[in-house]
Amino acid sequence: MIFLFFLLVPAALLLLCVALWNALAWPRVSAAVNDADAARVSILIPARDEELNLAACLDAALAQGETVFEVLVYDDHSTDSTPAIINHYATRDARVRSVPCAALPAGWCGKTFACAQLSTAARGEWLLFLDADARLDAGAASRMIAEAARRRVTLLSCWPALELRSFWERALMPLLNFVVFTLYPAPLALRRRSDASLGLAHGACLLTHGATYARVGGHAAVRGELFEDVRLAQLWRARGEAGLCLDGQGTVSVRMYRSFAEIWGGFQKNFFPAFRRASSFWLFMATHFMLFFLPFILAPLFFLTGSNGTVFVLVALCVLAMRAALAVRFKHPWWSVVLHPLGEGILLALGLSSWWRCKSGRGVEWKGRRYRAGAEKNAEA
């Protein structure tokens, strides 16, 4: 028990410090605009079967005002009413254009190819890549450009506020921020700008300077990556450019998934591929099992048997403190903190499922495409 105390408790306290540092010190995009009105931004939206999301995304994009020079949408072989929605908006506002789709080349993932095609057609000084389920707040585009200028960066990603409606969204989606912001020291990335390992981005909202994007290689440089947003942010820094990820609350929001099935499928596709090495994946899984899941199982068992389970109680309290701090920062429902053991168990099962499907050769599926070994193949023939 002494060994477990000196192994688990310090680790839990360290990660609690990281979570608290992020909750207290990670900056948001400023409300000030300054001279950003002179810049022109192209909003670029890859869309594949997005009839539920695209109209609201376009409404928010067009409401940004004169900062938005154009809104380009790439219809990635949709089988729903996505093309009709694009055409409808194109007739209403001349800034909206559809970028012709092409066959997916070998070695590319669908989203990376869509973003590359969009960037080729764009004419703005800045390129703002948005997922179709992203919603820009009023003045967000101008504020992001002004923030990038103030911080002297050529890549600025905004980590979006999560829009949570259903039970499973509220119970499980806060774990995304928990996973990231108990391990990633976001304030440190502001100070160590040349450290490629601290590159972070959320693909739902990614602003890049157009000329720099082309010089770095853009999405073509990460063409086969399912985890393309973080890989691009890391590559950006590795090639000597400045990039940051800031808290996007008040700037952009996103409803990533609507049901348990969508949450499972959405994260299964990039859970294991998010890790460069299998050893990193298993270290992550071991950390989550030992620190974030097992104490909630063992603490009550030790209590019921009259044994001394203080170490597990202390670790569990640290984990709940992490969850509570991040719930306050990101405005997540308080009861999602109490359901942490349930969410953590599902997260571990999801990781094992993603690993098995990738390693067995079955691959993972999303929107009619099957992903294997970092490259995407169209499952629709």
CATH code at 197?
Answer: 3.90.550.10
Give the global pTM: 0.92
| 215-233 residue pLDDT tens | 999 999 999 898 899 999 9
Number of domains composing the chain: 2
Indicate if the pLDDT at residue 164 is higher than 90: yes
Could you read off the pLDDT of 115-144 as tens digits, one per residue?
999 999 999 999 999 999 999 999 999 999
Other beta carbons within 10 angstroms of residue 95's beta carbon come to 17
Position 366 in a domain: no
Segment holding 41, helix H or strand E: strand 41-47
Contacts of 373 (CB under 8 A, 6+ apart): 358
- For the chain, the average pLDDT equals 92
pLDDT given at position 4: 67
Same domain for 33 and 8: no
Residue 231 · residue 188 · CB < 8 Å: no
Residues 290 and 337 in one domain: yes
Residue 337 tokens, joined: 């903190």
Domain range holding 294? Answer: 2-22+271-359
The DSSP letter of residue 220 is: G
**CB-count burial class (<10 Å; 0-12, 13-18, 19+) for 308:** exposed
Residue 374 lies in a domain: no
363 pLDDT band, cuts 50/70/90, is confident
Same domain? For 43 and 187 the reply is yes
Nearest to 59 by CA among 76, 68, 256: 68
Which of helix, strand or coil describes residue 336? helix
pLDDT attached to residue 364? 79
Q: Same domain for 249 and 286?
A: no
Helix locations, the chain, DSSP H: 2-25, 54-62, 82-92, 110-121, 140-151, 167-172, 174-181, 186-191, 210-216, 228-238, 260-268, 278-287, 294-305, 310-330, 335-338, 340-359
Task: Please indicate, yes or no, whether residues 31 and 18 belong to a single structural domain of this protein.
Answer: no
Burial state string for 278-298 with b = 16 or more CB within 10 A and e = fewer than 16: eeebeebbeebebbbbbbbeb
Q: Which residue would you say has higher pLDDT here, 286 or 378?
A: 286
Look at residue 374 and tell me whether its pLDDT is greater than 50. no
Residues 93 and 238 in one domain: yes
